């Protein structure tokens, strides 16, 4: 019994399982938080590298899972300057190749996408001109040209990244498993099993 209780106490002191599923745009996030939270990198390129006109083609390697994350960073940095995640369905809903004010609000961010135009996100309700990307984007936004001829365009308020190799665009897919009980829950379960076993042994001894 003492051994079981000691094991339960050790599990209770262990760190909680990390699952990173942020709501809304996030800034200044450690790359390790993302990769350690169930996300796998499936695409990366310099901001100056043309993305191509179709996400379905460019992100063919991102087929696993239903959640996708777009992020930007200084090249090679261990800190992501901005990121947001949502379902693939919402991230790639066609909002029109025009400055039409149409966005898909999903998981705390406004998403936009159109083949041959742009892809990205912004804080909900923030002003953003889709021409193809905004020339005055807010903090918490990111915009990538979906074009064959030019890269770009913005990370937070930094714009004009059409030919930049100083910044990168990264795409992750969520490959994490289901919900895993917290260590405290495991401790309670093990302690419970221990008490059941202890009671069973007492009954056996009483019968003998």
Q: Are residues 130 and 188 in the same domain?
A: no
Task: Give the number of domains in the chain.
Answer: 2
- pLDDT at residue number 66: 95
Q: Are residues 161 and 141 in the same domain?
A: yes
Q: Are residues 49 and 134 in the same domain?
A: yes
Q: Are residues 126 and 202 in the same domain?
A: no
Cα 101 to Cα 52, 92, 127, distances in angstroms = 23, 16, 9
Q: Are residues 35 and 108 in the same domain?
A: yes
- pLDDT at residue number 193: 43
Q: Which domain holds residue 43?
A: 18-179
- Write the pLDDT tens digit of every residue in 88-138: 999 999 999 999 999 999 999 999 999 999 999 999 999 999 999 999 999
For the chain, percent of residues with pLDDT exceeding 70:
76
- pLDDT at residue number 206: 53
Q: Are residues 96 and 141 in the same domain?
A: yes
CA distance 55 to 120: 11
pLDDT average, residue stretch 8-33 = 76
Q: Are residues 95 and 66 in the same domain?
A: yes
Q: Are residues 52 and 103 in the same domain?
A: yes
Q: Are residues 69 and 126 in the same domain?
A: yes
Q: Are residues 111 and 140 in the same domain?
A: yes
Q: Is the pLDDT of residue 9 over 80?
A: no
- Write the pLDDT tens digit of every residue in 47-83: 999 999 999 999 999 998 999 999 999 999 999 999 9
- Write the pLDDT tens digit of every residue in 165-181: 999 999 999 998 544 44
CA atoms within 13 A on the CB side of 129: 5
Other C-beta atoms closer than 10 Å to the C-beta of 186 total 16
Q: What DSSP designation does 175 have? A: -
Q: Are residues 1 and 35 in the same domain?
A: no
CA distance 58 to 146: 10
Alpha helices in the chain (DSSP H): 2-13, 31-35, 55-58, 88-91, 183-207
Q: Are residues 38 and 12 in the same domain?
A: no
pLDDT average, residue stretch 167-196 = 62
Backbone angles phi, psi at 200, to 5 degrees: -65, -40
């Amino acid at each position: 019994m003492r051994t079981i209780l000691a094991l339960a106490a050790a599990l209770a002191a262990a760190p909680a399982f990390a699952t990173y599923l942020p709501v809304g745009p996030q800034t200044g996030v450690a790359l390790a938080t993302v990769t350690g939270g169930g996300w796998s990198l499936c695409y990366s390129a310099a901001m100056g590298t043309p993305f191509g006109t179709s996400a379905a083609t460019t992100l063919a390697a991102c087929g696993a899972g239903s959640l996708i994350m777009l992020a930007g960073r200084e090249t090679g940095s261990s800190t992501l300057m901005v990121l947001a995640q949502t379902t693939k369905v919402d991230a790639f809903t066609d909002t029109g190749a025009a400055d039409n004010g149409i966005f898909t609000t999903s998981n705390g961010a406004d998403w936009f996408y159109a083949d041959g135009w742009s892809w990205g996100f912004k804080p909900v309700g923030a002003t953003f001109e889709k021409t193809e990307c905004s020339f005055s984007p807010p903090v918490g936004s990111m915009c990538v040209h979906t074009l064959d001829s030019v890269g770009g365009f913005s990370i937070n308020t930094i714009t004009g990244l059409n030919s930049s190799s100083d910044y990168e665009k990264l795409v992750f897919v969520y490959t994490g498993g289901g919900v895993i009980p917290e260590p405290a829950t495991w401790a309670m379960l093990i302690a419970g099993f221990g008490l059941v076993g202890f009671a069973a042994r007492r009954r056996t001894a009483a019968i003998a």
